[in-house]
Every structure is written in structure tokens, then in C-alpha cells.
Amino acid sequence: MKIETALKTFFPDMLPAGNISFKPGQIFYGKVQQLFPNQLAKIQIGGQTIIAKLEVALKQGEGYWLQVNSDDGEQRLKLLATRESGVKDNSPTALLQQLSIPNDKQNRMLAQFLMSNPLLLSKEEIMRAGELIKQTKNTPLGLQTLKHIVQRGMPLTEAVFTSLLTARNDVTTGTLLQSLQAEFTREQQMSGAARELSSFLQKWDQENGINTNKQQNAEDALRQMKQAVSRLGLFYERDITDPSINKHEINQSLKPLLIKYIQEATPSTTSKHVAEQLLMRMNGQQLLSYENGPIQHIVYEVPIQFAGYNTELTIQWEGKRNESGQIDPDFCRILFYLELESLKETVVEMQVQNRVVIVNVMNHSPMLKEAAQSFIPALKDRLLQLNYQLSAVHFKPFANNANNPMKKTYERGNSAYHGVDIRI
């Protein structure tokens, strides 16, 4: 399963909507939900509400473009009105005209997106967002990437945007690795960094070939997954500062080799372009990982080969960090998304509460439950050896998004923002 598909299906809004924090110059779209005495009104911003004091006449049920102003330390909201007749103040076009932004298709889609999503951006940020959106062929994905950047408080730069976009597109890590190796075989002359990287990829491919020719079990698959995580160097920036980890081994992983090669490569080569895409995808996965208070979320993708079949394993961890800085193994949730040769799209969720484990397996095959029964006792025994108790294993088909119980479980609720006196 691709990273973007997994995020949409099970984590449609990965970030909780916390209290709104206004900064001067920010612009947003708000809808007047209810009018109260003393010129007070409840204004909806996406899924959240604020209580504001009105100094201009606004209509209940109507939406407006508003801008945050600062006056003697007090935050106020200014109504943005269109300067041309025939254009409604609550339309996407009104915002573009007010900010003197070109009224083209991508900018209209951006303004429409801002109307339905609680994103607070300055005029400069809206213009910058429009430029970034135009660089992608997939505008809806670009808009979702913009939302992720703003909600996370990341800098709205091309590097961050492109990395996140690359991590969420359809081209997997395994595909990029194969493409990079293919490009190296076509090049007549290669730098030292290119030869080093090519040799690394060849060795990895050869070892996968050895795995293909032998019977694999679950422990072999787990070992291969751990090796793949280590070889990719997904946590290179963290590991390089850890005195307990061998620095030579770290520098021989994929990520530092990619960085070294990109710095030395000729700008026009196709192999450099593929290497940059691969590095951006890896960086994007790091950006998709985040902390929400004591809860740590980690997302990464690992190319693996199991029983001769090349596939991609996307892993999402969620849990609290313990005193040593590691995710607490007694209380966590782990999800595995992968495409299998016969079973096709498969998701395995493992919930751990006080070392009691519940496993949920989602797949479209009606035969999977019966076929898997003989493996459950071995799974229970293996977990018991690791001091975990298997409570249950459930098998279920994928539900549509509207009735998906997984989606309902993992969606983050919106918290309302109350008690704010803002003048409009």
C-alpha cells in the first residue's frame, strides 16, 4: 500500500486541531454561525469556533474572508471586501482580487481549499503556496501537502514541500532504487561516489537474489526488514549523533551515500535526478513523522523481497516514549501496509496495551481467516516468549471510508476554541 493511500485510509487527518493561535497579517475564511447580544458572534473556522466581537454588520450563516490585525497589543479581525462589483465577498475570486493574486485555475483551487480548511496564512504565504502548487501535476495532493506543512508549523519552502510531496506520491522507494541502478548501468563514466553508490545497490540486489532462492519463514522476513531499515539509513541524522553506534556502518548506508553522490554528480544526469527523488522521499517520510505531546508517530517505507516477490512495506508506529527515549513497547500501536503477490493489499494492525496484544488483519480475501487459523497458535507462543500475551486476532475486509471503523478510531477530534474576545 502506498504511503498516501495509507494516510488517507486510516489517518485522514493525522494532526489534531489544537487551539487557534492568531498572528498579525494572517488571513482565513470564517463563517458566522450564531449572533449573540452585545455584538458577539460565534465564528466557525474549519472545524473550530471562536467567539468574536463585531464592529461591522455581518450576517448569520454567511462566510467572510478575514485578516488578523494588531492594534496596541490587541488582536482584531479586519473584513476583507472585494474592490470590484459583481464579485461576492465570500467567493474564492474575492480573495484573489483583494490580494492582487492572478485569478488562474490553481490559485482559485487554492482559495477554495482555504475556504474549507482552517489554515491561517499571510498574503506572502498564500502567494508562495500558489507558486508551489503550480509546480506539481497533482494539485489535490499539493493542497494536502500544504495543509500538512501549515498544521505542523513547518517552513513553507520548496525543499519541505517537495520532500513531503515526493513521500506521498505513487513512485515507491523500491521503484526509485531500481531506476537508479538502471541509470548507473547506462552511464559510461562515473565518479567515485557514483561507483560507491552503485556497488551498494548491486550488493543489496544480490543479497535479495539469495533470499529468493531459499525458503523463507516469518523470522527471515523480520530479519530482512530490520536489515532494510538499517541499509536505508532512515534515521541517519539521529544515529550519527549517537556515540554507541558505529559511525562507519552508518556512513555506508543509503542515505549518506545518496547525499555524497548528489553533491558530486553532474547536474544534467538522469541518475542524479532519480537520486534526488529518492532522497526527498526519505526526507519526506521523516517530515511525516511527528510528536504530539507525549505521543510519537513514526512513518517509513521499506522495500522488501519475500518468497521472490518484491514489495513495499509501509510501517506506522504510534506510542509514548519511555525514560530512555524509546517508544514504550508496553503501550503502542503498529500498522503494517503491504502488497502481497496473492493476497494483494493487506493491512495488519497490532495494538499493545500493558503487553496484551490484539491483532487486526484487513484484506479483501474471504479465505484468509480460515487459511490463517493454523498459524495463530505459533504466533501466540512466539509472543509469549517475548513476554506478550495474544488476546485476539480479528480478520475483516476493508470498509468504505464512510463506515470504516479504523478511520473512526484514528481520526483526531477538533477541539473548540472558546472565550476569545476579538473585534471585527
Of the pLDDT bands very low, low, confident and very high (cuts 50, 70, 90), residue 67 is: confident
> Half-sphere exposure of 357 toward its Cβ, with a 13 Å CA cutoff?
21
The confidence score (pLDDT) of residue 89 equals 66
pLDDT per residue as tens digits for the range 287-326? 888 777 778 888 889 998 876 778 888 998 889 887 777 7
Residue 235 clears pLDDT 80, i.e. is over it: yes
Checking if the pLDDT of 10 tops 50, the result is no
Question: Any idea which residue has 490559485 for its cell?
Answer: 107
Q: What does pLDDT average to over the chain?
A: 82
Cα dihedral 384, 307, 235, 345, rounded to 10, equals -90
Do residues 377 and 397 lie in contact, with contact meaning Cβ atoms separated by under 8 Å?
Answer: no
- Per-domain boundaries in the chain: 173-341
pTM > 0.85: yes or no: no
pLDDT tops 90 at residue 14: no
pLDDT value at position 8?
52
**What do you get for the CA distance between the two ends of the chain, in Å?**
47
Higher-confidence residue of 195 and 18: namely: 195
Query: Can you tell me the mean pLDDT for 326-332?
Result: 87
SS3 labels along the chain: CCHHHHHHHHCCCCCCECCCCCCCCCEEEEEEEEEECCCEEEEEECCEEEEEECCCCCCCCCEEEEEEEEECCEEEEEECCCCCCCCCCCCHHHHHHHCCCCCCHHHHHHHHHHHHCCCCECHHHHHHHHHHHHCCCCHHHHHHHHHHHHHHCCCCCHHHHHHHHHHCCCCCHHHHHHHHHHHHHHCCCCCHHHHHHHHHHHHHHHHHHHHHCCCCCHHHHHHHHHHHHHHHCCCHHHHCCCCCCCHHHHHCCHHHHHHHHHHHCCCCCHHHHHHHHHHHHHHHHHHHCEEECCEEEEEEEEEEEECCEEEEEEEEEEEEECCCCCEEEEEEEEEEEEEECCCEEEEEEEEEECCEEEEEEEECCCCHHHHHHHHHHHHHHHHHHCCCEEEEEEEECCCCCCCCHHHHHHCCCECCCCCCCEEC
